[in-house]
Every structure is written in structure tokens, then in C-alpha cells.
Amino acid sequence: MAEHTAASREDWLKQRMALLEAEKELTRHGDRVAQLRRQLPWVKVEKDYVFEGRDGHESLADIFDGRRQLIVQHFMLAPGWEEGCKSCSYMADHTDGMVPHLAQRDTSFVAVSRAPYEEIVRFKQRMGWKFKWLSSSGTSFNTDYRVSFTPEEAAQGSQAYNYGSSPYGQEELPGVSVFVRNETGEVFHTHSTYGRGVEVMMGTYRMLDLTPMGRDEEGLSHTMAWVRHHDRYEAPKVQAASCCGRASKGNLENVAYADGDRGSRAGSP
């Protein structure tokens, strides 16, 4: 870590109070943007999408699970892939603890991928996730919500992604979409976010933003180049020893937990 300016507690507090004003304005601006988002008109969903999951086939209305609102993670896992996208997995690692809290606000969550359901189950079991994850195989759901593209679109770099043309040249890209169901059971699309908008599901980034090193992604080939599936990270080095000259119990437990079950090392799409 590079050398950094040091100051007295009094000088630090003066600068911290100036930063606090900037943080408050950022929070207030976020509130204003959220209000604008809620004011967007709704688009009625006219297609009868049918998804496959643990409970068999379900319609889009079914997967609201009796609640008024639905959040969908468009998870990049295409047919035949050995494992899901690393960045989508990074997002999904934050999900299980969030689901019961969303339910208290009348909101359900599901992930949706084009892969057949049996391929989803295999990867989901490996990662240890519990949230609901459905297959949209055989439907146009992914292409309609602009997260899956034809090989021709990808080759030409002509995907209509993130409300513009995409430079990525990929057949699968990430997104988060929101739907609402009214009293008569009609379903409406209210919002979709793509690109950096999906950082709403990346709580780890928000924590790193508080630290002196931040996200520490300068010099990488691309942002998130450091991200791995959580069972693919190398074990952290033990930096401290106990008074007896051995690694402390806490450090050993952390190493064992981080190492986890490595399994086979297949390349991520």
C-alpha cells in the first residue's frame, strides 16, 4: 500500500465532516433517482412465459409466490456451460440472506437462466445457494429483456444492451429486472438495469468502497478480473502466529473455510 497522509484526530475530523456532507448529498441524490425510477410507467407483459424449476413449470405470475413485486436476476448460464458466469455468481453470493428481508416488503426474488434446469441444479448445488433459480429454456424471455443474443448479433457487436449498442460481443450479458402484479393478476414490467447497474447486488463492493484500498482494480485487465467463484479462491496466507509460534485457531479456521471444496477447475465462460 502506498504511503498516505497522516493527520491529528482534530484535522481528520474536520475533513471527515466535509466528506460527510458529500455522503449525505449522494444519499439524497440516490433517493431522488429512486423516486424517478418508481415514477416510470409500467409495461404490461403480454407473453405467457413458462419457466421450469423444482416445482415443475411455472408462469411468470406464478413465480411472484403470492407477493406483489418480483425481482429477477438474469444469471449468465447458457445451455452447455460447465459453470455460471463468475460475476453473476459474485452477485448471487449476496442473495440468500436478502431473500427473507425482501419477502417482508412483499417482494419475491428469482434467478433466471437459459440453461436447462438440470444444468442449473448441478451448478447451484456446487455453490451451495438456496434461492429460487429457474430455467427460461424454450422461451424468449432472455432475448425479450435484452440479456441473451444471437451469435450473429454478438459477432457484429450489434446487441441492443443497456439501452444502447453493446461493445461486448457476447451472447449472454447480466441484468436485473423488476415486475409488479396488480389486484387482477396482470403482470407489468417496471424496470431493468444492466452494466454497472447490477452492482445493486454486489454488497462486497460497497464494503470495499469504505476501505483505503477501495476496489483495488487499477492495473487489472478489466474490472472484476480478480473475482472468482467462491470455491475457487486460493486460501489466504496466515500472517500472524500465536505466542506458541503456531498459527492461531481463528486463522486456521479461516483458511479451511476459504479453501472449501475445490472440485474440478473448469474455465468460466
CA trace torsion 99, 139, 269, 196 (10° rounding): -50
Model pLDDT for residues 4-43, shown as the tens digit of each residue: 999 999 999 999 999 999 999 999 999 999 999 999 999 9
Output the pLDDT for position 248.
36
Say whether pLDDT at 249 is over 60. Answer: no
Model pLDDT for residues 82-91, shown as the tens digit of each residue: 999 999 999 9
109 sits in the region (left: phi over 0; alpha: psi -120 to 50; else beta) called beta
Say whether pLDDT at 97 is over 60. Answer: yes
> pLDDT averaged over the chain?
89
The residue type at 108: S
Residues of the chain with CATH 3.40.30.10: 43-204
**Alpha-carbon separation of residue 197 from 175, 201, 223 (angstroms):** 8, 9, 14
pTM (predicted TM-score): 0.85
CA distance 113 to 147: 10
Task: Give me the CATH topology for the region 43-204.
Answer: Glutaredoxin (3.40.30)
Output the pLDDT for position 239.
57
Output the pLDDT for position 240.
53
Model pLDDT for residues 171-227, shown as the tens digit of each residue: 999 999 999 999 999 999 999 999 999 999 999 999 999 999 999 999 999 999 999
Say whether pLDDT at 237 is over 70. Answer: no
